[in-house]
Structure 1
Amino acid sequence: MDFSIKACDWSKGEANGFLTGKSDVIVLGVFEAQTLTGAARDMDVATKGLISRVVKAGDMSGRAGSTLLVPEVTGIGASRVLLVGLGKQDAFSQKAYGEAVRAAWRVILGSKIGQATFTLAQLPILERTGDWAVRTAVLALRELTYKFTQMKSKPDNGARSLKKIVFSVDSADEKAAKLALKQGVAIANGMDLTRDLGNLPPNVCTPTYLGQTAKKLGRDWKLKVEVLGQKQIEALNMGSFLSVAKGSVEPPQFIVMQYQGAGADTGKAKGKNAPIVLVGKGITFDSGGISIKPGEAMDEMKYDMCGAGSVFGTMRAVAEMGLKLNVIGVIPTCENMPAGNALKPGDIITAMNGTTIEVLNTDAEGRLILCDALTYAERFKPAAVIDVATLTGACVIALGHHNTGLFSKDDALAGQLLDASREAVDPAWRLPLDDEYQDQLKSNFADLANIGGRPAGSVTAACFLSRFAANYPWAHLDIAGTAWKSGAAKGATGRPVPLLSQFLIDRAAL
């Protein structure tokens, strides 16, 4: 799909070729109970009052989310006009814009339109700019066009008609809009990779497959990639990680991907170029182990590697954007399966940093693989570490499927992630991490237990991880409620790639 940016100042009547340029459709916004403005006003003049007549007749009220495709338009280069209702102008927020954009794309994708001119990015959105509007429109379109058909014997992808989109932006926004377009495409490509990995079946997307994917990503985007196997992991004394892996016939992998966009962190740059480390939970199938899960919807436990998938997607996006930043992706990946030699409730294991852990539930395995990865991350002397995991059902109960759970004792880091979540429209909500919750992890027989009981289950899981992340700024994202959808819309969402990408874009700009 070909995207391009073209500047146009409709307020000054400078259409810059949009009135005469050839296109299958031009997309115009109409506010409710308002006179026509901007592109809609100029198009109305060029079509000798056509749009005004349509509005006056009641065919387009401007109600939010409404659409009207007007065919066989004369007087302009576009053969059709798509009118999109925007609601009240004084309430036109980022949410209203997102709804309008998706409504427009659905109409276009449901037609034979091959080339579209899109003017909605120039609308006055509360607290948002034109470049944000462009990127949001790109991501919305790519989300609607994503399909996972790799595993079907006769995939019905259909020939997509839409090939070219031209975004009309204000002249002052042109440079920023071109950058936003590049970022939007890169983030969408990263999200597609994350979705693909999540949607693949667990007999295909194994730890070995993730290792191979990392190597391919390294070749394609010039990343330094290491994939450590069983013996190398043993040499690192990752007893906690290995305890989860031992019940499966699939060998574990420990993946490290390094993107160096800001030069080495040495000499005069010491500290300034310290990397951001992203740690992703890579349980490619989670049966629960000996503490086995109920059979219903267990197939969805292939999504327990979506934290790892989001790190893959973010690394790809960062490399494509060419951010001036050093980023490292660390992924411990294995299966959690029941077997005669599997981890048992009551076992005591030793983590990489020497901490002993009493395992009270083998289905609380994500924290057992992440804790060794968090210890490993220390060697990079990171500026910050963010782990991403489908960690707890308790987070789904607390926040549902809208917000990702955010935990951190570092207020500055938490604030940056929350700002990024709002900018990326990939919402997160900060949950407590008070020391008082740590008491729930006490064990009579080891340094700590791997669960803290039912109360505040997502909090105590984060508290467990915090024990292994004390030596650097750290945050934990629990994506159990946001990484995938169930039911008729079942599939990976690609979240939180937008949040992480925006966070890294912002860090690179510091």
Structure 2
Amino acid sequence: MEFSIKSGSPEKQRSACVVVGVFENRRLTLSAELLDNASGGFIGEIVRRGDMNGKSGSTLLLHNVPGTLSDRILLVGLGKEKDFREKDYCSAIRTAVKALDGTGAQDASVFLSEVAVRKRGIAWRIRQAVVSALTATYRFEQFKSKADEPRRPLRKLTLIVERRNELGLAENALQQGLAIGEACALTRDLGNLPPNVCHPTYLAEQARALAAEFGLDCEVLERSDMEALGMHSLLAVAHGAEQPPKLIVLHYKGAAKSEKPVILVGKGVTFDTGGISLKPGADMDEMKYDMCGAASVLGAIKAVAKMALPINLTVIVPATENMPDGKATRPGDIVTSMSGQTIEILNTDAEGRLILCDALTYAERFNPEIVIDVATLTGACVVALGNVATGLFANKDSLARDLLEAGEETGDRAWHLPLWDEYQDLLKSPFADMANIGGRWGGAISAACFLSRFTKKYDWAHLDIAGTAWTSGKDKGATGRPVPLLTQYLMQRAGQVD
């Protein structure tokens, strides 16, 4: 879909549709009032009759409104004006775009971007409008023999700004929104692909394609390379899989060579059976989403490269399947990680931390400023936070605060959980330096404690996205989270947020 920025009055727009908002109690927004005045009270009369009450999620499509130049006018309910916040704004944009997709209108002028959102300026409104619109129009239908095509799909959105002196700021925000939205789409595509297509080799191919498109440095380590490095924890997970494991490394260099990089590490288990500790069969198909951490960091580096942010960014993806066969790792096995620390594997379904710990040790060689790992790590995090917030752990409070702020800014929120020393006792093993699980209680925390033992040499944060990376049920699919949070954080570090 094509986007553009414009300043103008709603009644003068020559487009297939003009989109304006209505608050509850039938209160028209300024742009709706201008249309009403031009129409001689036509819109106000319709609203007064009760056809549109302004409730959030409601829409009303009008044709041939007198005094206007557009073919249609779409009224979008915004809810209560005093309660109108960031979530309501993004929801209104998505509602409008979905409604437009069913009208046959191929272009639209959207005046919702003029509606005030407390503490949010025009750059935020434009950026979020673009991301929300792309989210609303996302489809994954490439494996259907007959895709469900909307009739005359929406092809162009013009986002309206109130003042002409805001055009430059809005245009920059539009480009940022496009980068984030396209990165989310890549992340969702990778997550939604079936595991017989999206395996470790496929992820490596996608990384190489990104490198070619954006001029990134790319290196893919094979099993023999990992063996030489002593990555026996990562390789333990790969023992039972016929698909070869990969360690994928991408470098984006947007700042001076002397500037230390931010490193994103993404869990890339392209299918997780649980290994010998086999998962129940119900919903096991959703374990194709166990590589959404990898998908999200690939999406993030795409967004950064597309925006040409002045930072150095490295992405590391340990990729493997977790399968049961005669060579698979068993509960009770002890392996030595790349760091030299030994691990007693009590449950082979706690495999994400086993591949991440070697990747986190490998990250040391790049002398990072900050390392953030992203992983669909624990069901315990889903129990604690549901599908609303990502679990956040960090060994430095200021880093946690920055990530929390980025999540609030984008609506891709996280919640800071403790990483206290008392929890480390859960990982005690009589036979090795640590066990890979810590028992029933505090599972998300003990998993983060495990990872923390491999991050002593740098500032580190861990994002547990087990509850936020995908949705189940009739709308099953990858969400693209936490790409908005990650890109916002990187934009903040680069000083590129207005």
- TM-score normalised by length of structure 1: 0.95
Q: In structure 1, what is the equivalent of residue 229 of structure 2?
A: 236
Structure 1, gaps ≥5 residues long: 9-14, 266-272
- Separation of aligned partners in 1, 2:495 and 2:325: 49
Structure 1 counterpart of 2:436, one-letter code:
N
- Separation of aligned partners in 1, 2:275 and 2:296: 24
User: Any conservation in 1 of the 2:26–2:53 contact (CA below 8 Å)?
Assistant: no
CA drift at 1:183: 1.1
Q: In structure 1, what is the equivalent of residue 405 of structure 2?
A: 419
Structure 1 counterpart of 2:291, one-letter code:
M
The answer to whether residue 200 in structure 2 is matched with residue 207 in structure 1 is yes
Q: In structure 2, what is the equivalent of residue 465 of structure 1?
A: 451
Q: In structure 2, what is the equivalent of residue 340 of structure 1?
A: 326
- Separation of aligned partners in 2, 1:317 and 1:57: 47
- TM-score normalised by length of structure 2: 0.97
Structure 2 counterpart of 1:343, one-letter code:
T
User: Any conservation in 2 of the 1:405–1:429 contact (CA below 8 Å)?
Assistant: yes
Aligned pairs for 1:148-187 within 5 A: 148-158=140-150, 160-171=152-163, 172-187=165-180
- Cα distance change of structure 1 residues 334 and 37 upon mapping to structure 2, 3 Å threshold: closer
- Separation of aligned partners in 2, 1:36 and 1:425: 26
User: Any conservation in 1 of the 2:105–2:152 contact (CA below 8 Å)?
Assistant: no
User: Any conservation in 2 of the 1:130–1:170 contact (CA below 8 Å)?
Assistant: no
- Separation of aligned partners in 2, 1:152 and 1:401: 28
SS in structure 1 at match of 2:317: strand
Q: In structure 1, what is the equivalent of residue 85 of structure 2?
A: 93
Counterpart of 1:252 (choices 245, 258, 279) is 245
Q: In structure 2, what is the equivalent of residue 11 of structure 1?
A: none
CA drift at 1:97: 1.5
- Separation of aligned partners in 1, 2:407 and 2:447: 22
Q: In structure 1, what is the equivalent of residue 464 of structure 2?
A: 478
Q: In structure 2, what is the equivalent of residue 66 of structure 1?
A: 58
- Separation of aligned partners in 2, 1:362 and 1:329: 26
CA distances 1:50-82 after superposition (whole Å, capped 9, x unpaired): 122122222222223222111111212212111
CA drift at 1:402: 0.9
CA distances 1:195-216 after superposition (whole Å, capped 9, x unpaired): 1111111111111111111111
- Separation of aligned partners in 2, 1:483 and 1:35: 37
Structure 2 counterpart of 1:480, one-letter code:
A
- Separation of aligned partners in 2, 1:447 and 1:173: 58
Q: In structure 2, what is the equivalent of residue 301 of structure 1?
A: 287
The answer to whether residue 16 in structure 2 is matched with residue 24 in structure 1 is yes
- Separation of aligned partners in 1, 2:149 and 2:232: 45
- Separation of aligned partners in 2, 1:175 and 1:126: 22
Structure 2 counterpart of 1:327, one-letter code:
L
Q: In structure 2, what is the equivalent of residue 268 of structure 1?
A: none
SS in structure 2 at match of 1:294: coil
- Separation of aligned partners in 1, 2:384 and 2:16: 47
- Separation of aligned partners in 1, 2:3 and 2:122: 15
User: Any conservation in 2 of the 1:91–1:126 contact (CA below 8 Å)?
Assistant: no
Structure 2 counterpart of 1:54, one-letter code:
I
- Separation of aligned partners in 1, 2:48 and 2:150: 38
- Separation of aligned partners in 2, 1:107 and 1:437: 50
CA drift at 1:173: 3.1
SS in structure 2 at match of 1:19: helix
User: Any conservation in 1 of the 2:381–2:467 contact (CA below 8 Å)?
Assistant: yes
- Cα distance change of structure 1 residues 221 and 64 upon mapping to structure 2, 3 Å threshold: same
- Separation of aligned partners in 2, 1:36 and 1:462: 49
SS in structure 1 at match of 2:153: coil
- Separation of aligned partners in 2, 1:299 and 1:164: 36
CA drift at 1:231: 0.9
- Separation of aligned partners in 2, 1:31 and 1:148: 33
Structure 2, gaps ≥5 residues long: none
Counterpart of 1:33 (choices 25, 30, 34) is 25
- Separation of aligned partners in 2, 1:444 and 1:114: 67
Q: In structure 1, what is the equivalent of residue 104 of structure 2?
A: 112
CA drift at 1:247: 1.1
User: Any conservation in 1 of the 2:26–2:47 contact (CA below 8 Å)?
Assistant: no
Counterpart of 2:35 (choices 43, 49, 64) is 43
Aligned pairs for 1:268-279 within 5 A: 273-279=259-265
CA drift at 1:426: 0.6
SS in structure 2 at match of 1:506: helix
Structure 2 counterpart of 1:256, one-letter code:
V
CA drift at 1:35: 5.1
Aligned pairs for 1:191-202 within 5 A: 191-202=184-195
CA drift at 1:34: 6.4
The answer to whether residue 342 in structure 2 is matched with residue 356 in structure 1 is yes
User: Any conservation in 2 of the 1:147–1:157 contact (CA below 8 Å)?
Assistant: no
SS in structure 1 at match of 2:108: strand
- Separation of aligned partners in 2, 1:457 and 1:97: 36
SS in structure 2 at match of 1:33: helix
CA drift at 1:159: 5.2
User: Any conservation in 2 of the 1:285–1:336 contact (CA below 8 Å)?
Assistant: yes
- Separation of aligned partners in 2, 1:280 and 1:304: 10
- Separation of aligned partners in 2, 1:180 and 1:286: 38
More displaced 10-residue stretch of structure 1: 95-104 or 383-392: 95-104
CA drift at 1:22: 1.1
SS in structure 2 at match of 1:227: strand
Q: In structure 1, what is the equivalent of residue 2 of structure 2?
A: 2
CA drift at 1:156: 3.3
- Separation of aligned partners in 2, 1:309 and 1:294: 25
CA drift at 1:102: 2.1
User: Any conservation in 1 of the 2:26–2:48 contact (CA below 8 Å)?
Assistant: no
- Separation of aligned partners in 2, 1:210 and 1:493: 18
- Separation of aligned partners in 2, 1:382 and 1:323: 17
- Separation of aligned partners in 2, 1:37 and 1:358: 62
Identity within the alignment, %? 55
Q: In structure 1, what is the equivalent of residue 46 of structure 2?
A: 54
- Separation of aligned partners in 2, 1:61 and 1:144: 23
User: Any conservation in 1 of the 2:42–2:66 contact (CA below 8 Å)?
Assistant: no
- Cα distance change of structure 1 residues 398 and 261 upon mapping to structure 2, 3 Å threshold: same
- Cα distance change of structure 1 residues 78 and 144 upon mapping to structure 2, 3 Å threshold: same
SS in structure 1 at match of 2:12: coil
User: Any conservation in 1 of the 2:29–2:115 contact (CA below 8 Å)?
Assistant: no
